[in-house]
Amino acid sequence: MQQAISAMEERTRAHSPNENWPFTVTQATPAIGAYVSDIDLREPLDEPAYLALRRALIRYKVLFFRDQDITPAQHVAFARRFGKLEVHPVLTHDPDHPELVVFDKSDKKRGRENIFHSDVSWREVPSMGSILRCVECPPTGGDTIWVNMAGAYENLPEDVKARLEGLRAVHDLMPLFGAALSPEQRVAVRAQNPAVTHPVVRTHPESGEKLLFVNEAFTTHFANYAEIAGYRIGFDLKLGEMDLLQYLFRQAAAPEYQVRLKWEADTIAFWDNRATQHYAVQDYYPAVRRMMRATVIGDRPV
């Protein structure tokens, strides 16, 4: 595994020259993440800046911006530059901007996002990216971790990669979000958001990278495991499926694929949901942590 990780680091360095960016980019870790400075997100992005940010996002997978005191309207305008925005069917919205999800945690409401996931992977057309701003941060704690899922796939053993060929997985919002809904709400939300299937390994539509696309929050099972693995004895089939899925979930926990951000007020993180997973660390209760997120609609995984 160390040889594979070293190879990944070499490629990261080779593909990270001092490009003529219209802003300053500082790489965060060899595997994932970069800090972007000398840019004011209150101002509309011109075409060169937009294209450069999109290239940086594809290259580094998550971008961090400090000291961006933007309004909710400016947040929406910046996010909309990258595509259409979704309205989440369950989470709380900003009253004036339904495209903005509000995460408002305190001693009265504990955070529940502490599981590796890719935002809205349960949609038939999942997210391209998410843009999260810290409005109010706890004095310490409340970090977020992002994971490079291209690296996670690349370093899988070849025999495991062979087992994943043609395999599809089911993604569902209800196991995570259903518990907070009334029975009537569950019926209504389920009617509008059925479970969907996506390839276990998807191809990034812009970089061409192969990406491991299952996550512990929303992936419930494989849709066609028996067809791919073959059937012997019932418990072999089910245990084999569970073991493989749990093995794939655990790849996100490897520090070699991760970057960790310590939030400050007016920090913004912009990440590629196709190529990453993330985990919000819930170690700050009962302190206040208030965040706002816009989510850009993406493309159907293939």
What pLDDT was estimated at residue 13? 41
The model's confidence at residue 55, banded by pLDDT at 50, 70 and 90, is: very high
Instruction: Please give the mean pLDDT across all residues of the chain.
Output: 92
Say if residue 8's pLDDT is above 60: no
**Is pLDDT of 263 > 80?**
yes
Residue 98 confidence (pLDDT) above 80 = yes
| Catalytic annotation, residues | 117, 119, 278, 293
Q: How far apart are CA 173 and CA 229, in angstroms?
A: 26
| Closest residue by Cα to residue 228 from 274, 161, 158, 171 | 161
**Predicted model pTM:** 0.92
Domain boundaries, the chain: 2-111+127-139+264-271+286-297
Q: Which residues touch 105 (CB under 8 Å, ≥6 apart)? A: 111, 284, 285, 288, 289, 290
Contact present, 215 and 257 (Cβ < 8 Å)? no
Q: Judge whether residue 52 has pLDDT over 50.
A: yes
pLDDT at residue 105 tops 80: yes
Q: What percent of the chain has pLDDT over 70?
A: 94
Rounded CA separation 286/105 (Å): 8
d(CA 289, CA 302): 36
**Cβ pair 124, 196 in contact under 8 A:** yes
- What's the pLDDT band for 18 if we cut at 50, 70, 90? low
Main-chain dihedrals φ then ψ at residue 16, nearest 5 degrees: -125, 55
Asked which of 124-128, 188-192, 198-202, 251-255 is least confident by mean pLDDT, the reply is 188-192
Letter for the amino acid at 125? V
Which of 108-117, 144-153, 155-164 has the lowest average pLDDT?
A: 108-117
CB 250 within 8 A of CB 42: no
The pairs formed by 208-213 with CB atoms below 8 angstroms and a separation of 24 or more are: 209/150, 209/275, 210/150, 210/153, 210/154, 211/149, 211/150, 211/153, 211/274, 211/275, 212/149, 212/152, 212/153, 212/156, 212/248, 212/251, 213/118, 213/121, 213/149, 213/169, 213/274, 213/301
Q: What is the pLDDT of residue 180?
A: 83
CA-based nearest residue to 206, from 283, 274, 109, 132: 274
**In Å, what is the CA distance from 73 to each residue of 47, 86, 293?**
20, 15, 12
pLDDT band at 109 (very low <50, low <70, confident <90, very high): confident
Is 16's pLDDT higher than 50?
no
- CATH topology (fold) of 2-111+127-139+264-271+286-297: Double-stranded beta-helix (3.60.130)
Pick the more confident residue, 209 or 180. 209
Of 258, 250, 273, nearest in space to 31 by CA: 258
